[in-house]
Amino acid sequence: MEALVEQRKESRNTLAWPVSVWLPEASRFFNGRSSNVSKTGVFIRLPLTAPVRLGHIVELNFPRTAALAEEKGQFARIKKGKVVRIERKNVLDTAEIGVGIAFQ
């Protein structure tokens, strides 16, 4: 059995929040949920049908609450990132894949 070595540079914060991911290769958005987030990246859950691959550059759209949108003047926080991890271990139970994305 192989030991996993922690490679994260920043601490993670648990955050279950809706997120839309634009996949240029598919020319469409896929809706999912974040699991955790840090200053340098995010781990999200997407439908099994999302054709995401390691190395893809994606656009993440985090919607804001109405109050925060009014305060910030935007209805979403948009970030670009690179897919650095794809996890399929619970795919049969949840029909979802886990995707690690490093912010650019």
Q: Does residue 26 surpass a pLDDT of 90?
A: yes
Q: Does residue 4 surpass a pLDDT of 60?
A: no
Q: In this predicted structure, what is the pLDDT of residue 77?
A: 81
Give the pLDDT band of residue 11 (cuts 50, 70, 90): confident
What domains can be seen in the chain, in order of their start residue? Answer: 30-103 (2.40.10.220)
- Give CA–CA dist 57/36, Å, rounded: 19
- 68 versus 11: which is more confidently predicted? 11
Q: Indicate the burial class of 103 (C-beta count within 10 angstroms; 0-12, 13-18, 19 or more).
A: middle
Give the pLDDT band of residue 102 (cuts 50, 70, 90): very high
